[in-house]
Structure formats: structure tokens, C-alpha cells
Structure 1
Amino acid sequence: MALHFDQTEFDARRDRLTIEMAQKKLDALLVFAQESMYWLTGYDTFGFCFFQCLVVKADGQMVLMTRSADIRQARQTSTLDNVVVWTDRDGANPAAELRNLLNDLDLLGCRIGVEYDTHGLTAKNGRLLDEELKTFGTAEDASAIIPRLRLFKSAAEIAKAEKAAALSDDALDAALPLIKQGGDEGAILAAMQGAVFIGGGDYPANEFVIGSGADALLCRYKSGRRKLNKNDQLTLEWAGAFHHYHAPMMRTVLTGKATKRHQELYEAAYDALVACEEAMVPGNTFGDVFDAHARIMEAHGLTRHRLNACGYSVGARFAPSWMEPQMFLAGNPEPIAPGMTLFAHMVVMDSDSGTAMTLGRTYLTSEGAPKPLSRHGLDLIVR
């Protein structure tokens, strides 16, 4: 069995969940998010893109229903001892098989929470599930329960995040010598991902973002590579991942000379990130952190060049995104509390002049000021 946490850690997570379920008067929770399954049991796969469900009863009993390809995966990577298989075949309805399992677990007529808000439950499968539950019990959306529990990291999880952050730093160190005139984006990507793998890390939950020239203004990965010019801009967003825990970073690195506009955007990004750090303390909310970012961008005349979010919680995540649902955006009432790992990114994309500037790193919150998890500073990098 390949577990990344000890049994007492998993027991504590289960107990936190069952307490929450009792408060919400749920007899069972149908878990479809892969990160929820991983957090509760250690179960590690990419087969969640097909139908699978972890049933958690109010007494803490857990049963995983999955496909035949994942049964050994579950036994090898998780604490689960009860794994059942639904049968792949033409016209199969796994939701009907799940209903039969729920019946075997004496849940007929019970109050059942469902994790709807996840890529582990497609709209098609969700409709099949609703049809089966309609005459079986009372179903309700319980998508937010486990993500909120996961927002607060244990000491063991913080250690994973710190290792992930060290791998993020290693990736930047590997990239910097290659960022120069004639430097190839493919070689830069290979060096960064290679550094993470060599350090014992994982594939991230989404692709690293890389773009130079006009593509430096993009905030997403896209296919296609180019080589850097003498005076160029390269935007990178990447994350070290260790046992699926992520610590993202973001930088726009320049070759040659920084233009006046680059310098202006960098100063705004730096000031905004510092303001976010100052707001990232208990007593404030996620919305307050965004407001600090927006206030600085407005002061620099950059409101129309900024994004409508400036970061989010991070942790153990699976494809297609390393972003957690708790985000720094306007009006978010989620309180800042100690023991959170939060990524703040300042993204300024001036399409008028074709100028990009980004600055971001991951923090661990505390009773006071947050701790940056990166060993790298915030200086503008010009190669």
C-alpha cells in the first residue's frame, strides 16, 4: 500500500467530515471529486473522468464504486477495504448500479448529499444520478463540504506544500539560464518540468503556462512554441507538485532591456502583491485581499488591464486545474485563517501596447503576516 499520510491523519479527516455531515443531518455523502477521495482515503487515479463514487455514511463507513481498471489502483493507493466495480458495457447506467449499492447500504429513504460541483460528475451522469435518486431518497447539493474542510491544512499537509514550493523554486532555477536570445520555449518547459520530476514531484493538475512575445499576454497554456528574441517578454505560470499538493508561482521574465511600460507594470504588480500580503491576515476575507489588489491597480490606472480575480487557495488537486474554489475576488466573504496555503498572482496585460507583467507566489497564512513559501524574491527579472 502506497500512502502519503499515516492512518491517524486519515482518521482525523474522516472524523471532521462526519461531524460536518451530522450538523447538516446527512445520512450519506456521495463523493465524486477526485481530490475529495484522495484527501479522505489516499485514493490516487485519473480514472475519475469516468463514473466513480465514494459513498460515505454518517458513521464513517466508506465504499468506493469504480471501474475494473481502477480496482487495483484503489487497493494499492488508499485506505479503502471495500471497493466494488460497476460493469462497463454498451448502454451501461452506472447510476443505477450506484442506487443498488445505496440500497444494500440501507440508505433507502435517507437524506443524501451529493458532490455535484466537480469534473468527476459530468452533466450527463448527474442527470442519470438524479433520476435514480428521485424515488430513492432526498438528495441535496453538498459540493462545498469537503472543499471547505480541505481549506485548512494539517501540519502534514503543510509539509507537502513546502516541498512543492521548493520544487517550484527549482523549476525557476532550471529555466533562468535558458531564458535568453534564441532560447527555446520547449527547452525551458522541459527544464522546468524535469526539475520537478527529478526532485520527486508529480505532474501538475494543469499544464504550465508559457508564452513569449504577443503570447506573453495569455493566461492559459496553448500549443505551439517559439524562440526568444533579443528584447522579449516571457510569461510563466507553473507549480511544483508533491503528492499532488501544489505551490504555484508566476513571473514575466524579460530578455534584453525592460521597456518603460514594463517597468511601470512591474511596479504596479509589486505594489499590489505587497498590499495583498498585508491584507492576507485573520480578520480579513478573501474579498478584502482582492480589494487590496484592485485598489492598487486603480491607483496605477490599470483597472482595465487587470483580471477579476487575483488568486485562490491551493492544495491537493487533480486535472483539469490546480485552482481550489475559494478565490480572491470581489465580495468573497470567506475569512482568512491560519493554516491556509494561498496563491496570489498579479496579472497585468496591456493589449494596447502589447506589454505583459505578472508576479505571483504561494503563501502559508498564520496568526499574523503570511509566510511566502518561495525562496525567490520579487525583483523584476531581466536576462
Structure 2
Amino acid sequence: MPEDVSATCPAFPPEEFQQRRRNLTAGMAERGLPVLVVTAPEDIYYLTGYNNQGHFAFTALVAGVAGGPILVARTMEAPTAAAQVPDCAFAGYDDDADPAAVLADTIRHVGAAPESIGHQPNSMTFPIAVWNRTRRILASAAWADATDLLIGLRAVHSDREIACIRAAASLSDRGMRSALDALGDGVSEAEVAAAIQHTITGGGSDYPGFAPLVRHIDRVDHEHFAWSTRRLHAGDTVFIEMSAAVARYHAPLTRTVPVGGQLRDLRGHAAADVALAGHGAMRAAIRPGRTAEDVYRAWRSSVDAELGVPNDRHHCGYLIGIGFPPAWVGGSTVIGLRPGNVMVLRPGMTFYIQSWVIRQKVGSHVVCDTVLVTEDGCELLTATARR
């Protein structure tokens, strides 16, 4: 039986979470924010280790420069919180109570009567009704966007985090190999997806932030459609995108492959050449000190030159790490390798690099991998053959 890959990921000790919270409060103090309301599941997990699927109900971490943190969640989540984050206080609300009132009381407890409160306006998990009621209760406070503060804290990974991403990458490769083994004449997209999920879950994966995506190449641009019961046939080309998750850290990859090893549409060979050239251009461009925009330009220059026409694409990848459903991108804000993003690359960042060539005269091909920014370049973490 294969070894549980997640066992190679070290557990995060309490002192690592404590250091992360000290870094947070230092950043809050610099900005004059006495209190910060963290609602993105990825950031709550990063700061505390709180890991469950209860974020469909309002959940927040209230951090203060002078006090806290306090986790606000449904009362029924108290046992999970006590087991996972024993060094954080808990403020529960019953299902017939107003979470906004509990949140406002918690903010006052942490920061007395704060004039300024940090929050994450892009978070999908701060319902507008709770937000409006909280603002009415704390009418004298100004709310400040602290999105970039949280993104900055999580952008560069520690050695323990990188170990988790490596473990996820190894498990993602195993999942992809299972998908390739499952492909065959008459096999359905759903059966290929099932093979992926069986392998990664059995190997120790958490539930990923995104389900496996398995679809015939004629629907390659249905970008977030998962799978159907459609049966595949020899010569069909199939798009497969998936990721395992270890300690909530992801390492996705994508391959475009023919059923039975032979392409029915021979243009796919030319499309693969173009996509792989762009993939190589990205890897060569990823260096500490360069910007996200630099990487995008390298990819576009390569692909456009190969095609002889523009290959319009909004980005060619994004920063990854912690992920909760409904995505593995690390929250509502996608930090993309795209035009206009002048974020400087630093060692310890991990990106999902994506070379998409679709609906071109040469055909369609997609190849994507997880890479780690190193001191002098980048390292491919996912290793499944790209041809």
C-alpha cells in the first residue's frame, strides 16, 4: 500500500502560529489599526490552525494589538476550536442569535472603543447582512481595508509550509498518474475524476479546495466545469486539472492528454509545442527580484511569437498555498502573474504557472505546474511528464 504522503509534512507547532500572530499585530501597529477582523478561512487557518468546513456560517478571528485573538463562530463549533486552537478564546453565537452583535461585543472586548477597525472587504465569508449590522452597532468606527497586510504575511512560505506543499505536489502527481491510467476507450470523465479522488484521499490528502476537472478538449474553455458522465473514446483529447491538499496547502497541475496515446486531431502536437515553449519561458523568467508582470510578459512574448498572432489570456498563473473551498487560489483575491501586477518575487513563494493555448489554428493545449521560487530561479514541484 502506498505511503501516506501527508506524513512527510511536519505539524505546525504552537510557536509558529504565535509568531505569525506577532507579525500580524506588528503590521497592525504600523498602520494604526488597534483591531483587525479576519474572515477569510485561509487567513484564519494561517493564524491559528483552525480547520473545518463550517465557514458557510459566519466565522471571524478578531485580533488586537493589545488583546485577542478571539474566534467568533457558531456555538456548535466550540469543541473543534478547543481541540485545534486552545490558545485562542472563543465567542460563540447560537443559531437564533445575531452574529453581528457577538462580533461587535468581541471587537469592543479586544479594542475597547476602536476608532479604526481593519477588515477584508474582498472576503466571500463576511455576509453583507452581518457587515451592515456590525457597522450600525459600531457606528463611530472607521473600517480600513487590510487585505494586503494578510496577503503579505502569507506570500512567502516557511520551511514547514514548503514541506507541506512538496508533499501535496507528490500526491498530486500520484493523482494525475491514476487519471492517466484510468483513461481508456469507453471510460467516462466521471470515472477518471473518481480515480483521482480515490488516490489522493487514500494517500492522505485533505479535501481539496477545488474538485478535479476532467473534460473533453471541446469544452476546454468551460474553465470551471468539473466533469460529466460523457464517455471518452480512443483518439479523444482530455483536459485534466487537479490538486491534492496537505495540511490545507495545495500543489495543482494540469495535463492535456490523448485517450489511447494517439491524437485524432494532429494539430494538438503543434499546440503542445507552443504551450510548452510558454511554460519554459515562464520558468526562465521566475527569479527573485522580478515582478509578476515580468513573468506574464515572458510567457506572452513566447506564445505570441510561436503562434504569430496574439494569445489573449488574462494571466498565466497565480500565487498559491493555503486553500479552502471553493478554490485553491488562497482566498477571494487572486494574486496573478498578469499585466499591471508589480509584486516582486521572493524566495519561498509558490506559484501555479499556467500555459493555456486554446481555440487557436494550431489547436488547443494546456500545461500547468506548481513551482517554488528559489534563491536563484525556480524549482518545479509537480513532476508528471509534460508531453
Whether the TM-score (by the shorter chain) exceeds 0.5 is: yes
1:86 corresponds to which residue?
93
Mapped contact 1:27–1:107 kept (Cα < 8 A) = no
Residue 343 of structure 1 aligns with an amino acid whose one-letter code is: Y
**Cα distance in structure 2, aligned partners of 1:4 and 1:30:** 26
TM-score, with normalisation over the residues of structure 1?
0.92
2:373 corresponds to which residue?
365
**Cα distance in structure 2, aligned partners of 1:166 and 1:155:** 17
Residue 229 to residue 217, structure 1, CA distance change in 2 (3 Å): farther
**Cα distance in structure 2, aligned partners of 1:69 and 1:348:** 48
Mapped contact 2:68–2:110 kept (Cα < 8 A) = no
CA drift at 1:103 = 2.2
* SS of 2:307 mapped into structure 1: coil
CA displacement 1:209-268 (0-9 Å, x = unmatched): 110142234321245221111210100110111111000001111125333321111111
1:279 corresponds to which residue?
285
CA RMSD in angstroms comes to: 1.9
Deviates more, 1:122-131 or 1:270-279: 122-131
Asked whether 1:202 is paired with 2:206, we answer yes
**Cα distance in structure 2, aligned partners of 1:348 and 1:301:** 9
CA drift at 1:104 = 2.8
TM-score, with normalisation over the residues of structure 2?
0.91
For residue 215 of structure 2, the aligned residue among 211, 225, 241 is 211
**Cα distance in structure 1, aligned partners of 2:375 and 2:309:** 31
Q: Percent identity?
A: 28
1:235 corresponds to which residue?
239
2:353 corresponds to which residue?
344
**Cα distance in structure 1, aligned partners of 2:239 and 2:311:** 16
1:326 corresponds to which residue?
335
Residue 304 to residue 93, structure 1, CA distance change in 2 (3 Å): farther
Residue 124 to residue 223, structure 1, CA distance change in 2 (3 Å): farther
Asked whether 1:95 is paired with 2:100, we answer yes
Residue 341 of structure 1 aligns with an amino acid whose one-letter code is: T
Mapped contact 1:63–1:80 kept (Cα < 8 A) = no
Mapped contact 2:67–2:110 kept (Cα < 8 A) = no
Mapped contact 2:276–2:367 kept (Cα < 8 A) = yes
**Cα distance in structure 2, aligned partners of 1:229 and 1:76:** 49
**Cα distance in structure 2, aligned partners of 1:73 and 1:336:** 36
Residue 334 of structure 1 aligns with an amino acid whose one-letter code is: M
For residue 175 of structure 2, the aligned residue among 171, 195, 212 is 171
Show structure 1 runs of 5+ residues with no match: none
Mapped contact 1:115–1:141 kept (Cα < 8 A) = yes
**Cα distance in structure 2, aligned partners of 1:358 and 1:115:** 33
CA displacement 1:170-226 (0-9 Å, x = unmatched): 001111122122222122111111111111111111121110142234321245221
For residue 49 of structure 2, the aligned residue among 36, 42, 55 is 42
**Cα distance in structure 2, aligned partners of 1:303 and 1:126:** 47
**Cα distance in structure 1, aligned partners of 2:352 and 2:378:** 11
* SS of 2:252 mapped into structure 1: strand
Mapped contact 2:62–2:106 kept (Cα < 8 A) = no
1:105 corresponds to which residue?
110
2:160 corresponds to which residue?
156
**Cα distance in structure 2, aligned partners of 1:243 and 1:214:** 35
* SS of 1:221 mapped into structure 2: coil
* SS of 1:113 mapped into structure 2: strand
Residue 261 to residue 123, structure 1, CA distance change in 2 (3 Å): farther
Deviates more, 1:330-339 or 1:211-220: 211-220
1:7 corresponds to which residue?
14
CA displacement 1:241-297 (0-9 Å, x = unmatched): 111100000111112533332111111111101110111101210111111111122
CA drift at 1:352 = 7.0
* SS of 1:342 mapped into structure 2: strand
**Cα distance in structure 2, aligned partners of 1:101 and 1:79:** 18
* SS of 1:105 mapped into structure 2: helix
Task: Give 1:181-196 correspondences, 5 Å limit.
Answer: 181-196=185-200
For residue 76 of structure 1, the aligned residue among 76, 79, 83 is 83
**Cα distance in structure 2, aligned partners of 1:369 and 1:238:** 25
CA drift at 1:106 = 4.2
2:136 corresponds to which residue?
131
* SS of 1:182 mapped into structure 2: coil
Mapped contact 1:211–1:217 kept (Cα < 8 A) = no
Deviates more, 1:298-307 or 1:105-114: 298-307
Mapped contact 2:68–2:89 kept (Cα < 8 A) = no
Show structure 2 runs of 5+ residues with no match: 1-9
Mapped contact 1:32–1:116 kept (Cα < 8 A) = no
1:263 corresponds to which residue?
269
Residue 339 of structure 2 aligns with an amino acid whose one-letter code is: A
**Cα distance in structure 2, aligned partners of 1:305 and 1:232:** 24
CA drift at 1:304 = 5.4
Residue 217 to residue 351, structure 1, CA distance change in 2 (3 Å): farther
2:317 corresponds to which residue?
311
Instruction: Give aligned pairs, total.
Output: 373
